[in-house]
Amino acid sequence: MTIRAALRRDTFAPQRRRMVERLAKAGLCDARVLAALETVPRHQLLPEALQVQAYTDTALPIGDGQTISAPGIVGLMTAALALRSEDRVLEIGTGSGYQSAVLSRLAAQVISVERLPGLAARARRSLDTLGVANVVVHLGDGSLGRPADAPFDAILVTAGAPAIPPPLLEQLAPGGRLVAPIGTREEQRLFRVRRTERGLVRENLGRCRFVDLVGANGWAA
């Protein structure tokens, strides 16, 4: 079943439309990102008991100590990547597969790395159910990136780290954009890094809070 087919049977569509309208009023102005958020049925990527909360702008638990990010932060991070339809994206932290599905609507290919086997398997099943064919989920240490598939036009890190993992910067293509939450375990700042002809340019996009990026270039388990 494709995302389009799932939407035809989707009783949550009005709630999702209102969510997108709220995000637009709050300042998310990227039309392509808003359209992607309206297309992806977030409730289908949540445990059944939490589906009624799917279209609130809130992070929700998905098991294994992980969360599905709030739609607002998914929209902000996705917009910051400034994706083109031909881009190849590396996502660090597959989680529920929600961010992966949003990215899939905007880029040619998404390579996603998840360290928890149960989450990786559930995300792949969910993406298959939605008919998302351009996302590849790998099990591994996301802080190492995915050198076998590098370089990437865009890299999105969906977990907080004490610093940007050096392997991710090495795997960023010329002109590429990386977005990652960096800081302490209690609070991070969302940074965008662009690889330009003059070198790496870093921008602070504001406060955020994510679960830990665990790995060789992140936090210890």
d(CA 98, CA 213): 18
**Cβ distance 155 to 173 under 8 Å?**
no
Cβ contacts of 164 within 8 Å, gap of 6 or more: 157, 178, 180, 182, 191, 193
Q: Is 69 considered catalytic here? A: yes
∠ at Cα 48 (110, 111), nearest 5°?
10
Cβ contacts of 15 within 8 Å, gap of 6 or more: 54, 55
d(CA 2, CA 180): 30
Pairing of strands 188-196, 199-208: antiparallel
d(CA 21, CA 17): 6
Catalytic residue, chosen from 69, 100, 126, 143, is 69
Dihedrals phi, psi of 81, to nearest 5 degrees: -75, -20
Q: What residues are annotated to the active site?
A: 69
